[in-house]
């Protein structure tokens, strides 16, 4: 009688820059010997998509042949969060052992976590009790040097494999400074800095004289703490912020209960 | 010499169902005598858009004449979060005194807060230190009866105007049961229930024989607490969950610091 083989350790990889971005390729290169790697990523850039899901349109999945030796890869017409949902239901037919997202081209520290498709994919996995990590390099360039990021991404994934039972909803927001690996001071567990963007839309006129607006913004950090991700990155540490999907503001809940007679 | 007139109390209203949805009209009817109301809402449905912002395309803003007597209304080609950003920068040219989002057609309790364009618009306002409330009625129908929701939406806004200085990032996720107003038991401040969707994509074939997938899912509540929004709504209370944009999981941060030698 045949015994059922133990399930292979399965790593789902996604991102928000799209399946043909260098960042996701570098991430897979860094960790591909640690298990069976399945890539399910958007077929086009999806930066800034936050936790968007596709409700009003159906989704497509297409196998991407020869994406990388020994790696099964699929492109998806939806958002990063759609990719995670579809991968579990229609490709893996089970939950992967871990979900990795990135490596994003550009920072996702502090308030960026809210807008980031990279981090929303990771957070979606954690809702499903799949431990997850989103990786971002502080370099927007398509020609960014991922060599330092690869070393630290691998180190973090190895640590999580070693400490499997930390938290069933574990989700880490990892940002890596854009400096040579030799200059990185180490890994620092942080809280999310309080920062925001000061918007300034650029107003233009189309050839028909009608106005349109481009979103731009200046990043403003209001948080002087030395326990934040912004501080860590400024000081050449890799920042690791554990994130959660319970948005309840418990302190404010108490205040509301004691202050207002509804 | 002329003195600068005190600025009128200004209420920014948005939603994710689009500017022509009945929900937003009902919300404005409920509160329009409380200040100067400016509506800036998506020009088409944007449900499930989460905290998405528009980066790769420019945005359009169009004034909507005669939307409602005495109310300035604009449609925007972007997401709910884009609407808030554009309204502050290009329409109001200052921060409104409060931002209201909704009334959403359908529930945004528990995990829905993460996917909800309605709540992401409110959360975006709170990042900008604009007190905000997202309202949702537990009825998806376009013909939903908003009469109970209107009473409670107004009551909550009045309370916030009375308690202006509670928290500069105040953001409330308000859900209203789909029952007659006379059956509503009151308002309950709650925490977000731990619940999720069990996805099941419907697979179909297009006329050319290629597969596509529709997102569907069954809502599963894993949280038996009587202090959650799900409990409150089941018991015919209006649920009020204060939400925050600091996603740091502080308990897990401590665990990570003490468990792992990075």
**DSSP letters spanning B143-177:** T---HHHHHHHHHHHHHHHHTTTS-TT-EEEEEE-
Residues 56-95 of B with CB under 8 A from A: 56, 58-61, 79, 81-82, 85-86, 88-90
- Is B151 a domain residue? yes
Tell me which chain A residue has its CA closest to the CA of residue B61: A212
- Residue B6 is predicted with a pLDDT of 65
> pLDDT digits over A132-173, tens only?
999 999 999 989 999 999 999 999 999 999 998 889 999 999
> pLDDT digits over A173-230, tens only?
999 999 999 999 999 999 999 999 998 899 999 999 999 999 999 999 999 999 999 9
- Is A156 a domain residue? yes
A213–B189 CB contact, under 8 Å: no
Q: Which chain A residues are Cβ-neighbours of B49 within 8 angstroms?
A: 50, 52
Instruction: Give percent above pLDDT 70 in chain B.
Output: 98
A50–B51 CB contact, under 8 Å: yes
Cβ–Cβ under 8 Å, residues B53 and B82: yes
- Residue A255 is predicted with a pLDDT of 96
Residue B5 corresponds to which tokens in the numbers above? 């007139």
- Residue B1 is predicted with a pLDDT of 42
Q: Which chain A residues are Cβ-neighbours of B128 within 8 angstroms?
A: 196
Q: Which chain A residues are Cβ-neighbours of B186 within 8 angstroms?
A: 262
A256–B250 CB contact, under 8 Å: no
Q: How far is A2 from chain B (nearest CA, A)?
A: 31
Q: Which chain B residues are Cβ-neighbours of A54 within 8 angstroms?
A: 48, 215
Element housing A222 (H / E):
none
- Is B212 a domain residue? no
Cβ–Cβ under 8 Å, residues A240 and A187: yes
B114–A123 CB contact, under 8 Å: yes
- Residue A5 is predicted with a pLDDT of 54
Q: A11: how many CB neighbours lie within 10 A of its CB? A: 23
DSSP code, position B198: E
B214–A58 CB contact, under 8 Å: yes
* A170 lies within 8 A of chain B by CB: yes
Mean per-residue pLDDT for A28-35?
Answer: 98
Structural domain range at position B17: 10-192+225-259
Q: Are strands B132-137 and A171-176 parallel, antiparallel or unpaired?
A: unpaired
Instruction: Give percent above pLDDT 90 in chain A.
Output: 92
- Is B203 a domain residue? no
CA angle B227, B26, B97 (to 5 degrees): 75
Identify the band that residue B5 occupies on the pLDDT scale cut at 50, 70 and 90: low
> pLDDT digits over B88-121, tens only?
999 999 999 999 999 999 999 999 999 999 999 9
- Residue B147 to residue B152: CA distance in whole angstroms: 9
Least confident of A5-9, A117-121, B66-70: A5-9
Mean per-residue pLDDT for A52-56?
Answer: 93
- Residue A82 is predicted with a pLDDT of 97
- ipTM above 0.90 for this complex: yes
B-interface mutation test, from A213, A218, A240, A257, most B Cβ less than 10 A away: A213
* B242 lies within 8 A of chain A by CB: yes
- Residue B137 to residue B150: CA distance in whole angstroms: 10
Nearest to A167 by CA among A126, A114, A118: A126
Using H for helix, E for strand and C for coil, what is the string for A97-144? CEEEEEEEECCCCCCHHHHCHHHHHHHHHHHCCCCEEEEEECCCCCCC
> pLDDT digits over B43-59, tens only?
999 999 999 999 989 99
Cβ–Cβ under 8 Å, residues B96 and B88: yes
DSSP letters of A163-212? TTTS-TT-EEEEEE-SS-GGG--EEEE-BPP-EEEEE-PEEEE-TTS-EE
A199–B120 CB contact, under 8 Å: no
Q: How far is B71 from chain A (nearest CA, A)?
A: 22
A196–B45 CB contact, under 8 Å: no
What CATH number does residue B241 fall under? 3.40.1210.10
Residues 18-57 of B with CB under 8 A from A: 45, 47-56
- Is B199 a domain residue? no
B248–A243 CB contact, under 8 Å: yes
* A174 lies within 8 A of chain B by CB: no
Nearest to A72 by CA among A80, A64, A84: A64
Instruction: Give percent above pLDDT 70 in chain A.
Output: 98
Q: Give the bridge partners for B135, in sequence order.
A: B174
- Is B120 a domain residue? yes
Residue B59 corresponds to which tokens in the numbers above? 């945005």
- Residue A77 to residue B214: CA distance in whole angstroms: 12
- Is A1 a domain residue? no
Q: A250: how many CB neighbours lie within 10 A of its CB? A: 11
> pLDDT digits over B118-139, tens only?
999 999 999 999 999 999 999 9
The answer to whether residue A1 scores a pLDDT higher than 50 is: no
A-interface mutation test, from B51, B83, B206, most A Cβ less than 10 A away: B51
Q: Which chain B residues are Cβ-neighbours of A241 within 8 angstroms?
A: 247-248, 253
> pLDDT digits over B185-219, tens only?
999 999 999 999 998 899 999 999 999 999 999 99
CA atoms within 13 A on the CB side of B141: 6
- Residue A7 is predicted with a pLDDT of 78
pLDDT, mean over chain A: 95
Indicate the number of domains in chain A.
1
- Is B108 a domain residue? yes
Residue B139 corresponds to which tokens in the numbers above? 């009825």
């Amino acid at each position: 009688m045949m015994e059922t083989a133990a399930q292979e350790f399965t790593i789902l990889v996604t991102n928000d820059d799209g399946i043909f971005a260098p960042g996701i390729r570098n991430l897979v290169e860094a960790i591909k010997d640690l298990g069976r790697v399945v890539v399910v990523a958007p077929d086009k850039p999806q930066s800034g998509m936050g936790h968007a899901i596709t409700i009003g349109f159906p989704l497509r999945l297409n196998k991407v042949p020869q994406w990388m030796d020994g790696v099964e890869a699929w492109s998806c017409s939806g958002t990063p969060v759609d990719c995670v949902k579809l991968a579990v239901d229609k490709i893996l037919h089970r939950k992967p052992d871990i979900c990795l997202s990135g490596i994003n081209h550009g920072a996702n520290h502090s308030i960026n976590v809210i807008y980031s498709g990279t981090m929303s994919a990771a957070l979606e996995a954690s809702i499903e009790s799949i431990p997850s990590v989103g990786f971002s390099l502080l370099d927007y360039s398509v020609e960014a040097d991922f060599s330092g990021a690869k070393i630290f991404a691998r180190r973090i994934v190895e640590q999580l494999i070693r400490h499997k039972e930390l938290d069933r909803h574990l989700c880490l927001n990892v940002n890596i400074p854009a400096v040579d690996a030799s200059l990185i001071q180490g890994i620092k567990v942080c809280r999310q800095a309080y920062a925001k963007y000061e918007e300034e839309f650029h107003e233009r006129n189309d050839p028909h004289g009608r106005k349109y607006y481009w979103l731009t913004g200046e990043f403003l950090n209001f948080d002087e703490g030395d326990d934040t991700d912004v501080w860590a990155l400024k000081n050449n540490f890799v920042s690791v912020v554990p994130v959660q999907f319970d948005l309840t503001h418990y302190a404010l809940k108490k205040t509301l209960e004691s202050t207002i007679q509804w």
